[in-house]
Amino acid sequence: MPRIGDPAPEFTAETTQGPISFPGDYAGRWVILFSHPADFTPVCTTEFMTFASMQEEFAAYNTALVGLSVDGLYSHIAWLRTIQDKMVFRDMKGVEVTFPLIDDVSMEVATKYGMIMPGEAATQAVRAVFVIDPKGVIRTIVYYPLSLGRNFDELLRVVKGLQTADAFNVATPADWRPGERVIVPTAGSCGTAKDRMDGAEEGVECVDWFFCTKELPAEDVESAIRTGA
């Protein structure tokens, strides 16, 4: 099972959008690779409708979506057509899923990524999420059980937070959203710690030597991490 900081395991696969070579085909982009238990299941249907409805939002942050289940290509195609033709969820209907959905009947990819959890199901992938950066490195891993649908606002927040951390060399506190204060790297020496507590670093506020924050306006975050901004 891959871990945060590992290179994303490589694979080639057939998808609803044609063959892909992963992660090579996505070099230079962020990717959310996610699995779902099975086609024609209700929770998965709501998730795919939500992901498809947010696809342009993710694309604005240079992030592509790639789905996977251990069903076959023809099942995928039939299910996605049913979603577009018949399914209604909240204010969504007529939703077309245009991101690739991987055919993984052999469970080869699901096994490489540790998506099969025998305690949940031996023949279905759990709701795994891998956020992979433009260099093909795994940056976040989230697992949900079969019964629990994902929080998609959180997945978009994760993408924004990772990109903000990379762009500004900061960390983001609990429940952070763009425009809120960010955490500056912890002081690495006694001198730096003293300077911070004495207010020597402009714009940096410290509660204690190890807990210092600064303002980072939302517009600065957006201009740095939005595609084409």
Considering the chain, what is the average pLDDT of its residues? Answer: 94
CA dihedral 210, 216, 218, 222 (to 10 degrees): -100
Indicate if the pLDDT at residue 70 is higher than 60.
yes
Rounded Cα distance, 63 and 60, in Å: 7
Indicate if the pLDDT at residue 2 is higher than 60.
yes
Query: Rounded mean pLDDT of 71-89?
Result: 97
Query: Rounded mean pLDDT of 34-53?
Result: 96
Determine the 3-state secondary structure of 174 from DSSP.
coil
Indicate if the pLDDT at residue 228 is higher than 70.
no
Per the annotation, binding residues for substrate are 127
The domain over range 169-225 is classified in CATH as 3.90.1300.10: no
What residue ranges do the domains of the chain occupy? 11-150, 169-225
Indicate if the pLDDT at residue 105 is higher than 80.
yes
Determine the 3-state secondary structure of 75 from DSSP.
helix
pLDDT band at 195 (very low <50, low <70, confident <90, very high): confident
Per the annotation, binding residues are 127
Instruction: Tell me whether residue 44 is one of the annotated catalytic residues.
Output: yes
Rounded Cα distance, 125 and 164, in Å: 31
Indicate if the pLDDT at residue 229 is higher than 60.
no
**Predicted model pTM:** 0.93
Among 44, 190, 206, 212, the active-site one is 44
The domain over range 11-150 is classified in CATH as 1.10.760.10: no
